[in-house]
Amino acid sequence: MSHPPQSLPDGDDDGRGDDPFDDVAAERPAGAGRPPVLTALAVFVAVALAAVVVLGVFLLARAPAGPTAGASLAVPTDTSVEAGFARDMQAHHRQAVTMSLSVLGATDDAEVRQLATDVLLTQQQQAGQMHGWLELWGLPQTGSQPVMTWMARAGDGMNGMSGMHGMDHGGAGPSAGASGVDSMPGMATSDQLARLQAARGTDAERLYLQLMIPHHEAGVEMAQVALDLFPESDTAERSLAQAIVSSQTSELAVLHALLDARGGPLPA
């Protein structure tokens, strides 16, 4: 679970050869302290180890006990809620990672960098976890149905997403004719992503915060609907969905506070 960002001390970095953010160092003002960042190796090792641990827990959670211990494990089908959630939340998480990488290359602000790093590491690990589930289930990473179809099973639960971007609320499924990730709630548009990539300094910070607020709000809603749909036997899936609700709800308070400190405005 992510924690509210804390100020990061300035300091020298002697291991800059593997740092994925070295290419933006030249854009910083001369003499400005360089916030410490994780090296690429450290990030990949941390995410890989976490994924191994989580996969082991997942296998144990799904393993039958007692007299059924020798039976085959039941796995979700291609059109199941579990598979739909794993695919769609992966895509949602990947965009959050992309936006966080963009702002990390655009600002030296310690608080924003800490938040973006937390989002990047948490959501990259969770996306890897869901990718591993689909591999374990023998399912493709791309499903046969349009995105968000699994949420139709929530029935009236879709009403809770009435303010989310890209949803057709005349029915329970995704927008008419929209089958790609652009139809998912809370997703930034390609134009918004391009603007964030080009922005620098406070402008980049403000735009990142404005985009991440609806993105997190939608992520919380999606995870909450998943919790309503997952059976109690889906212990690992329910645990991840609850972790998403908890961490992103906590981060939303930080996002709002940081945006308010920069004069807003809140996303429309």
Domain assignment of residue 126, given as a range = 78-159+167-268
Domain assignment present for residue 27? The answer is no
Count structural domains, the chain. Answer: 1
This prediction's pTM: 0.69
* Distance in angstroms (rounded) separating the CA atoms of residues 144 and 165: 23
- Cβ–Cβ < 8 Å for 179, 228: no
What does the longest C-alpha to C-alpha distance in the chain come to?
Answer: 68
Q: Say which amino acid occupies 218.
A: A
Domain assignment present for residue 35? The answer is no
Domain assignment present for residue 16? The answer is no
Four-residue CA torsion sign, 118, 124, 129, 130: positive
pLDDT tens for residues 96-153? Answer: 999 999 999 999 999 999 999 999 999 999 999 999 999 999 999 999 999 999 998 7
pLDDT tens for residues 175-219? Answer: 333 346 667 899 999 999 999 999 999 999 999 999 999 999 999
